[in-house]
A and B are shown apart, each in its own frame.
Chain A
Amino acid sequence: MADATIGTPGGPPKAAFRFDMLWNDSRYRSSFLQVVALFVVLLVLLYLANNVRVNLAALGKDFSFGFMSTPASYDINQQPIDYSSRDSHARAAVLGMLNTMLVAILGCFLATVIGVLAGVARLSKNWLIRQLMTVYIEVVRNVPVLIQILLIAAVINESLPQPKDFRGEDAVAAMIFSDSIAATNRGLYLPRPVWGDGSLWVIVAFILSIIAMVSFNRWRTNYQRRTGLEVPSTLDAAVWPAAVITGLLVAYFFYRIGTWSILAEWGFPNPVIGGESLNIDLLGLIVAGGLAFMLGRSLTSSAAVLLLILTIPVILIHFLFGQPVSLDYASVTERGIARFEGGLYLRDSYVALTVALSIYTGAFIAENVRAGIQAVSKGQTEAAFALGLQPGRTMSLVILPQALRIIIPPLISQYLNLTKNSSLALLVGYMDATGTLMGITLNQTGKEFETLFLGMAFYLSVSLSIAAVMNLYNKNAQLVERTSATGIGFSFMNFFGGKWDNLKKGDAKMRPSYGIRGVLNLYVLFYGAILVFLLNFIFIERAVLDVHLDAPPALQSTEAIQDALSGDLPQALAEAYLPGGFDRLKPEDVQKAIDTFTARPRNADATVADIEEAAIKSMKIKMSNATEAQLGLALEMIKGQLTIPGATVVDTRGAVNAYFEATRAGATVADIGESLKVYLSVAPKGEVIDDHVKDLFRPALLDLAQQSEPPFEIRPSYWHWTTTLQFAALGMILMAFAALITCLFKNASFFDMAAIELIVFLLAFLIGFPFGDLIPGVSALLVLGVGLLIRIGILAWTVVGAGPNLTFFNRERRA
């Protein structure tokens, strides 16, 4: 001990470590406590995991997700993607999740609109509006949302007319807006846009217009900063054409929906001038168009420019390409059970759920908005007024930007609430994730733990994604509190020339970049596309051949098969068996099949002897391919079955199967055809033979599928992949998502996310991820090569290029 206290030149003496120092010495205490806490947490987790295992074992259940690829067997009414009851539970679950997203997205949007309007209106100077909004908020907020959903559903179901009321001469209900919208107790039917040939160009023109509008806006802001003027006065010339366009558009709109005729139907008298009855439609057009023109005249010049940019190219392209975009209107069926066909169908359950959730959440958002506005000091308003700003501009330029900082955080939790509340859907018969995966699938398979686990994971990831996006937006809206550059910790950027600093909005070195040259917009598109392709490949594309072979809808009866044999067999076969249809099968394979299947009338009087003879005859044809042993065995089996007097179809089937088993080794489509012919020639008329045909076709088609690479392949569903591949796919999705979000918000970590994404991409390639299937019809090499090039290009451009400006987190190399 004595030597120790003498001390070394390096520093104070070191006392020997004693155990009580773990809790007495502040140097060790905190670490020690953390380790202990970690142990406790781990023990609890272990206990829980073990508890689950033991209890599942006690119930005799295993933990596996295999059931996800078995046929779901139930129908779902709202189908954002194709689905039939023979599809897998996984697909049903995806469908439910998409339905949840449909409610969540529209609901969040509507709730925001309602909430902002109600929140601002609640602060209105108008007593009536203010009190009305108070009543709305207090009533809606304090009634359980479940009751509101049921109420709205009941109102729709009970008070709106049934489809049958719309039918016939003496219909008691009529579609509104000149037969374009039907409000029934089954939901709303709206016109649906039909995208004809060439509509792609209209969409492209529309997207370009939007980009041009954004660019124009950025340019305008920049211009105003430089000159103090909003826009150059030369742009004032845009007001006139914009007004004309507005007038024409409004007139056209009223012409299309024929509102004025409805007025006449409702009993408004036709105006009569000088004994002449005027055409009310024409008059209406002129009045509406004129009013719109007058309104258009009062547009500011920048608004006029924006309007022109938005409308002119789209309208021009639309007419130039022969009006490719048209509308499909719903109409009630004239025969059979009355229902609406065509159009865009918004189910009563969807409408009730979305509207109720929007109104409910809107009330909360309104309070957030009110709180946010009131939190901005009154002095701000007064100061703005003192500067001569009008109330509207004071609100939009001074108050709201500051209020937004207070509004956004609680808004996030309102969005989350709405999304989670959408799980009440099944109460009104809406099939969301809770209804399909955690409802019917759970009930039919009894896999409580697995389905609830997946369901929780889904809601958790949706909620966390919403929270992540909104948090980034929040970061963007918050005040910039420090303007000095700060060094950042580890970043892949460090590999490219030393330390990097973060620049923040307001920093002197900061160079905000406006306009489309912000290459990040392209990055967003790129990572968005990756995400879409990956998700589509893994969950949405119908790749599970196994499931589909169980369900040949087109070949379910002997009649159907006869039709197929005499008609277009390749088409029928393809539709029945192949996901993606005929296109994925090589024509020559199918031709081979059709050559073999010659239509032949069945013989209802066939005897057992006939069957035997036919079987043996067809076997002889095959003798060249089958071994003696196989043929002998098959004959034995057939004879064994058929020596029973009065053999039935089942026997026949056995015979054919036996025959087929025998020749299976070298079986070709032709063999199957022979088998089928034998069978068909003796099967009693009207017998349903789908199972038999399935048995016969299945191996042949699998065989075919394996021969005809690459356009057609069998792919197991995600649940049957190896764990490594599953993780690779998840990793790629996660990183593409991360990169997408970070470049969407121009976050500093974009470079890191993109770099990790690249690494995951390469890893996935190394462990053999099937890139070739990612984009139909594009080879793996191309996907890999181009993907790699673009990714590396993005990273390189971020480091060396001057173009992409990671704006508010821009990085500056430390000198």
Chain B
Amino acid sequence: MKKTVFVGALAAAALTAGAASAGTLEDVKAKGHVQCGISTGVAGFAFTNADGSWEGFDIAICQAVAAAVFGDASKVKYTTTTGKTRFTALASGEVDLLARNTTWTFSRDVDLKFEFVGVNYYDGQGFMVPKALGVGSATELDGATVCIQTGTTTELNLADFFRVNGISYEPVPVETNAEAQQKYLAGACDVYTTDASGLAATRSTFEAPADHVLLPEIISKEPLGPLVRHGDHVWGDVVRWSLNALIIAEEKGITAANLAEMSGGTNDPEINRLLGGEGEYGAMMGLSKDWAQKVIAVNGNYGEIFAKYIGADTPIGLARGLNAPWTGGGILYAPPYR
């Protein structure tokens, strides 16, 4: 009997190991939609709108990929994942790509066998504390209770930061942003730490955002970007260039408003190449000629998406900072489309 239990457990584990398949682009075309892994909800980045459908800065990536493949941004289905479950979901083939504030690191790229196709937001880990705590710097956090999302790079950064600075702290691991928010507001932890963008997004949902401050320290590099499974380069290229198309569009001044006009042909050959007026670039990836038009038509270019969901005019109010195009003082830089 006991042996049976063990064998059964083993069998279950073996079956769930699942099989990875190549040819995701064909699979996606066959099933008629893109299965996109997203977060459980971060204001501005991934949230459900009044109609109950998903929207946001990260969601825009999913929509862009769907538009590139099908020419229709609505052909995408979402799977919410937590920091803990996201990699298993991607590795097992449950989702076709992950577009949820995931930091590009060596071990995830190499050891976990994923492929980060680019960076859609350059972030860094920060700390948020209530003003009443009277702390002006992260180095004054000795003995603080820190809420932290488990299964993230922030967990490791935090351990390193406090160890290097010789500060003691009490970690409180939580699963989702919503849980962290609840604990933080209840005073069960003094500090909430995650990516600075996430902190700003979370703070914007508070009743009294002004009562909370972000500490000046940014303790890590957190390049966030979409990722796919290792080994399927065709699919990787589709996702990579969907993102790059958005970035190039901003650089070249292609907006949702002037898209129709631009696709009629311009003086700039790169714009023509991107929008399908010149060359057979779409076909090389197994997509239609005007795929990039469809991508840009969804939410506009990168800058427009940024402004719409998380920009300075939104409640989240993030400045472009590092995420401005390289021509505008940032480090957003897409390879040339040729």
A86 CB within 8 Å of chain B: yes
- Neighbouring B residues of A449 by C-beta, 8 Å: 13, 17
A460–B183 CA distance with the chains assembled, in angstroms: 33
Q: Which of A51, A76, A85, A158 sits near B17, CB closer than 8 Å?
A: A51
Asked if A85 and B159 make an inter-chain contact with CB atoms under 8 angstroms apart, the answer reads yes
A422–B18 CA distance with the chains assembled, in angstroms: 27
A157 CB within 8 Å of chain B: yes
A157–B140 CA distance with the chains assembled, in angstroms: 24
Asked if B160 and A59 make an inter-chain contact with CB atoms under 8 angstroms apart, the answer reads no
Residue of B nearest to A158 (CB): B186
Asked if B150 and A426 make an inter-chain contact with CB atoms under 8 angstroms apart, the answer reads yes
- Neighbouring A residues of B160 by C-beta, 8 Å: 73, 85
- Neighbouring B residues of A73 by C-beta, 8 Å: 156, 159-160
Asked if A336 and B142 make an inter-chain contact with CB atoms under 8 angstroms apart, the answer reads yes
A556–B166 CA distance with the chains assembled, in angstroms: 10
The secondary-structure label for the interface of chain A is: helix
Residue of A nearest to B147 (CB): A429
> B162-185 interface mask toward A, CB cutoff 8 Å, 1 = contact, 0 = none?
111010011111110000001100
- Neighbouring B residues of A501 by C-beta, 8 Å: none
A437 CB within 8 Å of chain B: no
B190 CB within 8 Å of chain A: yes
A726 CB within 8 Å of chain B: no
Asked if B186 and A75 make an inter-chain contact with CB atoms under 8 angstroms apart, the answer reads no
Residue of A nearest to B163 (CB): A85
> A46-63 interface mask toward B, CB cutoff 8 Å, 1 = contact, 0 = none?
001101100110111100
> A495-534 interface mask toward B, CB cutoff 8 Å, 1 = contact, 0 = none?
0000000000000000000000000000000000000000
B132 CB to nearest A CB, Å = 8
A452 CB within 8 Å of chain B: yes
Taking CB atoms and an 8 Å cut-off, the chain B residues in 103-155 that contact chain A are: 107-108, 111-113, 132-133, 135, 140-145, 150-151, 155
A446–B231 CA distance with the chains assembled, in angstroms: 17
Interface size on A, residues (CB 8 A): 53
- Neighbouring A residues of B43 by C-beta, 8 Å: none
Taking CB atoms and an 8 Å cut-off, the chain A residues in 428-444 that contact chain B are: 429, 431, 435, 439-440, 443-444
B131 CB to nearest A CB, Å = 13
Taking CB atoms and an 8 Å cut-off, the chain A residues in 290-306 that contact chain B are: none
A569–B217 CA distance with the chains assembled, in angstroms: 33
Known: A73-B159, A75-B158, A162-B187. A186 touches B145 (CB 8 A): yes
> A261-300 interface mask toward B, CB cutoff 8 Å, 1 = contact, 0 = none?
0000000000000000000000000000000000000000
A74–B146 CA distance with the chains assembled, in angstroms: 13
Asked if A55 and B17 make an inter-chain contact with CB atoms under 8 angstroms apart, the answer reads yes
A553–B163 CA distance with the chains assembled, in angstroms: 8
Asked if A460 and B5 make an inter-chain contact with CB atoms under 8 angstroms apart, the answer reads yes
A93 CB to nearest B CB, Å = 15
B284 CB within 8 Å of chain A: no
A71 CB to nearest B CB, Å = 10
- Neighbouring B residues of A460 by C-beta, 8 Å: 5-6, 9
A589 CB within 8 Å of chain B: no
A429–B162 CA distance with the chains assembled, in angstroms: 19
Asked if A186 and B188 make an inter-chain contact with CB atoms under 8 angstroms apart, the answer reads yes
Asked if A429 and B83 make an inter-chain contact with CB atoms under 8 angstroms apart, the answer reads no
B19 CB to nearest A CB, Å = 5
A433 CB to nearest B CB, Å = 14
B20 CB within 8 Å of chain A: yes
Asked if A446 and B87 make an inter-chain contact with CB atoms under 8 angstroms apart, the answer reads yes
Known: A336-B140, A337-B143. A55 touches B84 (CB 8 A): no
- Neighbouring B residues of A315 by C-beta, 8 Å: none
Q: Which of B10, B144, B182, B231 sits near A60, CB closer than 8 Å?
A: B231
Q: Which of B7, B84, B190 sits near A443, CB closer than 8 Å?
A: B84
Known: A59-B91, A60-B230, A74-B156. A51 touches B145 (CB 8 A): no
Asked if B5 and A337 make an inter-chain contact with CB atoms under 8 angstroms apart, the answer reads no
Residue of A nearest to B113 (CB): A60
B88 CB within 8 Å of chain A: yes
Q: Which of B14, B141, B143 sits near A333, CB closer than 8 Å?
A: B143
Asked if A75 and B188 make an inter-chain contact with CB atoms under 8 angstroms apart, the answer reads no
Taking CB atoms and an 8 Å cut-off, the chain B residues in 11-53 that contact chain A are: 11, 13-15, 17-20
Asked if A446 and B111 make an inter-chain contact with CB atoms under 8 angstroms apart, the answer reads yes
A348 CB within 8 Å of chain B: yes
A456 CB within 8 Å of chain B: yes
A671–B284 CA distance with the chains assembled, in angstroms: 62
Known: A333-B143, A443-B84, A453-B13. A426 touches B158 (CB 8 A): no
Known: A337-B143, A426-B175, A439-B151. A59 touches B2 (CB 8 A): no
- Neighbouring A residues of B135 by C-beta, 8 Å: 337
Asked if A77 and B111 make an inter-chain contact with CB atoms under 8 angstroms apart, the answer reads no
Asked if A337 and B113 make an inter-chain contact with CB atoms under 8 angstroms apart, the answer reads no
A56–B162 CA distance with the chains assembled, in angstroms: 36
Asked if B173 and A56 make an inter-chain contact with CB atoms under 8 angstroms apart, the answer reads no
A521 CB to nearest B CB, Å = 30
Residue of B nearest to A445 (CB): B111
A387–B298 CA distance with the chains assembled, in angstroms: 89
A337–B146 CA distance with the chains assembled, in angstroms: 12
Q: Which of A84, A337, A349 sits near B190, CB closer than 8 Å?
A: A337
- Neighbouring A residues of B171 by C-beta, 8 Å: 74-77
Asked if A339 and B83 make an inter-chain contact with CB atoms under 8 angstroms apart, the answer reads no
Asked if B173 and A431 make an inter-chain contact with CB atoms under 8 angstroms apart, the answer reads yes
Known: A446-B112, A464-B2, A553-B163. A185 touches B91 (CB 8 A): no
> A96-129 interface mask toward B, CB cutoff 8 Å, 1 = contact, 0 = none?
0000000000000000000000000000000000
A446–B142 CA distance with the chains assembled, in angstroms: 32
Asked if B87 and A48 make an inter-chain contact with CB atoms under 8 angstroms apart, the answer reads no
- Neighbouring B residues of A139 by C-beta, 8 Å: none
Taking CB atoms and an 8 Å cut-off, the chain A residues in 451-506 that contact chain B are: 452-453, 456, 460, 464
Q: Which of B83, B88, B156 sits near A448, CB closer than 8 Å?
A: B88
B18 CB to nearest A CB, Å = 7
- Neighbouring A residues of B10 by C-beta, 8 Å: 48
- Neighbouring B residues of A452 by C-beta, 8 Å: 13
A427 CB within 8 Å of chain B: yes
A460–B141 CA distance with the chains assembled, in angstroms: 41
Asked if B164 and A556 make an inter-chain contact with CB atoms under 8 angstroms apart, the answer reads yes
Residue of B nearest to A443 (CB): B151
A194 CB within 8 Å of chain B: no
> B292-318 interface mask toward A, CB cutoff 8 Å, 1 = contact, 0 = none?
000000000000000000000000000
Asked if A439 and B231 make an inter-chain contact with CB atoms under 8 angstroms apart, the answer reads no
A456–B10 CA distance with the chains assembled, in angstroms: 9
- Neighbouring B residues of A158 by C-beta, 8 Å: 186
Asked if B17 and A74 make an inter-chain contact with CB atoms under 8 angstroms apart, the answer reads no
B218 CB to nearest A CB, Å = 19
Known: A55-B18, A61-B113, A431-B173. A440 touches B151 (CB 8 A): yes
Asked if B20 and A59 make an inter-chain contact with CB atoms under 8 angstroms apart, the answer reads yes
Known: A59-B113, A85-B159, A439-B151. A185 touches B18 (CB 8 A): no
- Neighbouring B residues of A327 by C-beta, 8 Å: none
> A156-170 interface mask toward B, CB cutoff 8 Å, 1 = contact, 0 = none?
011000101000000
Taking CB atoms and an 8 Å cut-off, the chain A residues in 391-450 that contact chain B are: 426-427, 429, 431, 435, 439-440, 443-446, 448-449
Could you write out 10 A-B pairs with CB less than 8 Å apart? A157-B183, A337-B143, A339-B145, A426-B173, A426-B175, A431-B173, A439-B84, A446-B107, A460-B5, A460-B6
Contacts A52-B13, A162-B187, A426-B175 supplied; 15 other A-B pairs, CB < 8 Å? A44-B11, A51-B14, A51-B15, A56-B17, A60-B231, A73-B160, A77-B170, A85-B163, A429-B174, A443-B87, A446-B107, A446-B108, A446-B113, A460-B6, A460-B9
Q: Which residues of A contact B (CB under 8 A)?
A: 44-45, 48-49, 51-52, 55-56, 58-61, 73-77, 84-86, 154, 157-158, 162, 164, 185-186, 333, 336-337, 339, 348-349, 426-427, 429, 431, 435, 439-440, 443-446, 448-449, 452-453, 456, 460, 464, 553, 556
Q: Which residues of B contact A (CB under 8 A)?
A: 2, 5-7, 9-11, 13-15, 17-20, 83-84, 87-88, 91, 107-108, 111-113, 132-133, 135, 140-145, 150-151, 155-156, 158-160, 162-164, 166, 169-175, 182-183, 186-188, 190, 230-231
